[in-house]
Amino acid sequence: MSAALRFRTGCLAASAWLSACGGGDGSGGGAPGTSGVNTGQSCVESDLIAQCPPGSQPDLSAQAVSACEGRADFLLSGDGGSVEAACRGSGECLVVCNFEVPCACGVDAITTEGVFCTPCLESAACGDAVCEGGEDATTCPVDCASSCTAGTRRCNGRDREDCNGQGEWERVACRPDQACEVGPAGVACQANLSPSGGSYPGTGWQEVALPTDPAEVYFPEAQIGCGNTPGNCLPLAFVDDEHLLGTQGGQLALLSIGDGSPETLPVAVDATARIAPAVDLPFVVSPARQPVLFNLNDRRVLTAEAVVDDVTDLAWGAAAVHAGTGLGAVGFAAAQQPFVALYELETGRVRAMLRYAESALVRPPVSLHFSADGALLAELRPEGLCIVWNVAEGRHVRLIELESVAAGGRVDAATVRFTRGNGPLLLISDAHRVEVWHLDDTRRVSTSGRGELDGFAGPFELSPDGRIAVALDPGFGGSRATFFVDSLAYIRSFNALENSGLAGPPGVFSADGRRIAIGHLVFGAWVE
């Protein structure tokens, strides 16, 4: 039984007949209580009635529809926890489908053939911190009684309840796109499980003609002004021919190419977590419990909306940003359940929360990357699973497992990037190898651990045309090397250089492909 079906009220994510709860954007459709009022005026009753499956009776009254809280695919229950109805429709046009036989232990599926209840033998037992499956204060006081032990938590419907110092339960409302769940780390409000089966629109890569071949970059051209401690700088992106955006001394900074001093910007960098900000100029996303969104053009700083309450255990991971769509992404793990929050860069509001559950995966994503057009988002878990999301639909469309994972080994995944080549490609690296995947048919094209680039692993970054990557060079300590993406053929190495220790890019290319910033040096290609 899926987590989304374990609560008195919630989104039925497991059914193919039902779509994602509230459209996946947290808006939840129309205002609560308005559906029944407007049904006779602007909605087609016959269409709404037809959405109720066999074994249920439609109810279009305003009183009934108001219980849907403006959301379709919402399950309604009675006092004993039995699921008695489901909300159907969209926007302000809703209907309540009352089940002829309530589901005492939850709903397994709703299809065009009828309502299928979860067998009570499969339902959770008394003592699991969820008042469900016909339990009540008499049959299961530990889950349902009004008195409690201070500091404990439980789920009640979609919301969480915390026991206060007086031994009484206090309701803590979860976000509209969350539901209370009992997970490995205890009871917490979790993002709804995101359904699979989204459409795959392609990566949006087009041919990019650069004035200079990035493969010809080879000689030190200039130093980066990092003050008295060169190793304390980490370049993140070229701003123009004379400046880089990067980090210096725990702050975001505008770095000069040459002798100029860094200009500190009003964004702190979480050096303790060793996670670098994500950049797609003019936007920057710095991961944190509440991520910081920065616009370099007007120097505007926003603190993004919180995704969980202040007391829930939360770890954050990688970030990504796509200036064209105005979206940023940050990976989290709340109570050891990983997910990705999508933020609107201009407002800091959460657009959607993407969650794929796997019991063995408990750490936040280590790498996120938007496709060229922003339609797809690749999420790489540290255990070696890559999830490709359709951003607009909030559904995952590809699941890719690194080779060492499939063989039963343990990996330490590092980086994922969309790119181009002989078809739309996805590059994924771990501690042992780089893998190239063809996304149209989810086929592994090549692996560096089999000869051409044996030993190259860890973080990497791509040239603007997607042909060249710069990565750590295991043969020369902390040095970097470049290689061709299609063939994984080695090009050349660069001398060992200092960097800040943040888990950021090993080097960044200029927009014209003529230079690479690595550590405190800028390398260039010969131009006559």
The residue that leads in pLDDT, 507 or 7, is 507
Does residue 90 belong to any structural domain of this protein? yes
Domain membership of residue 77 (yes or no) is yes
Q: Is the pLDDT of residue 388 over 70?
A: yes
HSE value, Cβ hemisphere, 13 Å, CA-based, for 27: 8
Q: Is residue 416 part of a domain?
A: no
- The verdict on residue 427 lying in a domain is no
**Contact criterion met (CB below 8 Å) for 193 and 355:** yes
The residues near 118 (Cβ < 8 Å, ≥ 6 apart) are 1, 5, 103, 105, 106, 107, 108
Pick 74 or 94 by higher pLDDT. Answer: 94
- And the tokens for 490? 């080695």
User: Residue 443 gets which letter from DSSP?
Assistant: E
Task: Kindly provide the b/e burial profile for residues 362-391, where b requires at least 16 CB atoms within 10 angstroms of the residue's own CB.
Answer: bebbbbbbbbbbbbbbbbbbbbbbbbbbbb
Domain-embedded: residue 257: no
Tell me, what's the pLDDT at 315?
A: 92
**Residue 121: its pLDDT value, please?**
53
385 within a domain of the structure (yes/no): no
Q: How many domains does the chain have?
A: 1
Count CB-CB contacts under 10 A for residue 355. Answer: 23
Torsion of CA 280, 369, 469, 504, to 10 degrees: 70
Inform me whether the pLDDT recorded for 89 exceeds 50. yes
**For residue 282, is the peptide bond before it cis, meaning its omega torsion is within 30 degrees of 0?**
yes
Measured CA to CA, the distance from residue 264 to residue 253 in angstroms comes to: 4
Cα angle at 409 between 480 and 275, to 5 degrees? 45
Token output for 528: 């006559």
CA triplet 376, 381, 385: central angle to 5 degrees?
80
Q: Which domain holds residue 14?
A: 3-191
**In terms of C-beta distances under 8 Å and separation of at least 24 residues, what long-range contacts does 488-495 make, across chains too?**
488/434, 488/436, 488/446, 488/447, 488/448, 488/452, 488/453, 488/456, 489/452, 489/453, 490/452, 490/453, 490/456, 491/215, 492/218, 494/518, 494/523
Query: Average per-residue pLDDT in the chain?
Result: 81
Q: Bridge-partner residues for 368, per DSSP? A: 379
Q: What is the pLDDT of residue 111?
A: 83
**Measured between alpha carbons, how far is 333 from 505 in angstroms, rounded to an integer?**
22
pLDDT at position 430 is: 84
pLDDT at 22: 33
**At 219, is the secondary structure helix, strand, or coil?**
strand
pLDDT bracket for residue 498 (50, 70, 90): low
The contacts of residue 377 (CB under 8 Å, 6+ apart) are 320, 329, 340, 342, 354, 368, 369, 370, 371, 388, 389, 391
pLDDT at residue 367 in the model: 95
Does some domain include residue 319? no
Using the predicted structure, report yes or no on whether residue 362 has a pLDDT greater than 50.
yes
Residue 426: the pLDDT is 93
Mean pLDDT calculated for residue range 280-295: 96
Domain assignment of residue 394, yes or no: no
Comparing 138-142, 173-177, 218-222, 505-509, which segment has the lowest mean pLDDT? 138-142
Residues 445, 469: Cα–Cα separation, whole Å? 16
Q: How far is Cα 377 from Cα 387, in angstroms, rounded to an integer?
A: 8
